[in-house]
Amino acid sequence: MQIWVGLGNPGAEYAMHRHNVGFMAIDTIAEIHGFEPPKRRFQGWAQEGRLGSEKLLLLKPATFMNKSGQAIGEAMRFFKLDPDAITVFHDELDLAPFKVKVKRGGGTAGHNGLRSTDQHIGPEFRRVRIGIGHPGNKDRVTGHVLGNYHKTEIDDLTDMLGAIAAEARWLAANDDVRFMNDVALRLQP
């Protein structure tokens, strides 16, 4: 059993924010792979399904970003899992837009959703870092992160989310390198 968590903020007004790209990734994986409809569980929306031989719970915390770890910790304890069974999909300022990287453990880089997760389950979870780029000036970071994707970015966003979902089987099989390589290949011009 693995738990894959998308970080984001609940509510229609946040749906297209760059900060919600984790929610978008989870929704796309659920749709492409035919997961059950979402149910209210673990302080969020949860969907169960399979990728290959792996049973997965997809989770979108409804606690708002700053308290995401509460929902993640609750689901992890319910299934009696260790942090290495948790994968968190999140926006990453320090990656170019639409680049996807995976790492295990590490710091929070000022990301409140990661900070909350770290506080509730420790740092040893897998992170799928989804690049949103840096606006260039730290005074513009909040507006960038909490801003909607621009209409000129929607095709690239759709392509990236589709690539993540299409190659998700490699994540389920714990082949992070193959996942990153195959996503990158799909996104080549």
Residues that are catalytic: 19
Beta bridge mates, 148: 17
Q: In the structure encoding, which two tokens stand for residue 12, read together?
A: 């229609």
Find all residues with CB under 8 Å of 57, minimum gap 6, and list them: 1, 2, 3, 4, 46, 47, 48, 75, 79
Q: Which two tokens stand for residue 2?
A: 């693995």
What the block records as the tokens of 4 is: 């894959």
Separation between Cα atoms, residue 189 and residue 187, nearest integer Å = 6
3 contacts: CB under 8 Å, gap ≥ 6: 56, 57, 59, 72, 75, 76, 79, 81, 85, 86, 87
**Which amino acid would we find at residue 69?**
G
